[in-house]
Copies of this chain bind each other. A is one copy, B any other.
């Protein structure tokens, strides 16, 4: 791949959207970020993304080879239809790929956001040298992408690696998916916030610092508040984070025993907020995962930083274009 190739990567999140022009070596040349206006509905969001892409094209002499869009949700990979997106209300069966292609006149690929991130980290980041990696992003939920034997795995209906909904605690808290004890119901952002609110409701004295950080509104307590209070040595936050650490260790042990990666790449808001948690996870995994599975295992943090979503989405486009140039007419 010559560096002369350029693509657009879009990281379409529930609170913000990042759009970037990325070259074939994974560098973001220019980017535009804006808040996700969910009030205006899917059409409004698509329009704003198109405007951003057109602005990024302005003044560039290098033509774009395509657009990659990463978002959390259930996606038809062949036609780029968004069936459902947990963080984007009203997005139901939106033919995102077709809509964007029509207006932009460029090939468009729609992909699960953490799978795009895994691709980016594999091509350009922490997992560059390997054929076997698991990428886990702990944000509001917990998402995963898995590369095995040099292939980003999709599964039978494009849901391979839904790690956030792996049961780690049979009688654990109820989850948004209808099950109990899912990993993200304990260790994901929304799960941490929920547990913190319940703990403060039970004991407002112990919860004084969390209440202060959330302007005295229990319903406003966020995972970020828990992280802040933890760094201020608040006992309640420490006990909450200990529970989270225990679940993070168990979940990572499962990923190591089940997927046997060479690299376990950790990223996302929680990891960025409390970076020392990576050492705690590593210690737990090395002690309790199967020895044969931890031989040669490296546990590392994601390397592409805040632009990983944009870079990953663009990387997907480069990959598909490469295949396209080898096999005409097989754009999938």
Contact = CB atoms under 8 A, between A and B. Distances in A.
Q: Is the interface of A mostly helix, strand, loop or mixed?
A: loop
Contact of A295 (B157, B171, B287): B157
Contact of A297 (B131, B151, B156, B253): B156
A246 interface: yes
A153 interface: yes
Interface in A126-155: 130-132, 148-149, 151, 153-155
A253 B170 CA distance: 11
A30 interface: no
A179 interface: yes
A63 interface: no
A151 B293 CA distance: 20
B156 A296 contact: yes
A74 B156 contact: no
Contacts of A162: 257-258, 260, 290, 293
A136 to B, nearest CB: 12
Given A155-B148, A290-B159, A170 B246 contact: yes
B260 A156 contact: yes
Contacts of A289: 165, 179
B167 A170 contact: no
B177 A290 contact: yes
Most buried by B among A167, A287, A292: A167
Interface residues of A, number: 53
B148 A132 contact: no
Nearest to A260: B155
Interface string A253-292: 1100111111000000000000000000000000111101
A163 to B, nearest CB: 7
A149 B155 CA distance: 7
B155 A132 contact: yes
A203 interface: no
B155 A293 contact: yes
A82 interface: no
Which 9 A-B residue pairs are closest in the complex by CB-CB distance?
A155-B260, A156-B262, A132-B156, A167-B250, A179-B288, A160-B260, A162-B257, A159-B293, A169-B170
Interface of A: 74, 83-84, 130-132, 148-149, 151, 153-163, 165-172, 177-179, 181, 246-247, 250-251, 253-254, 257-262, 287-290, 292-293, 295-297
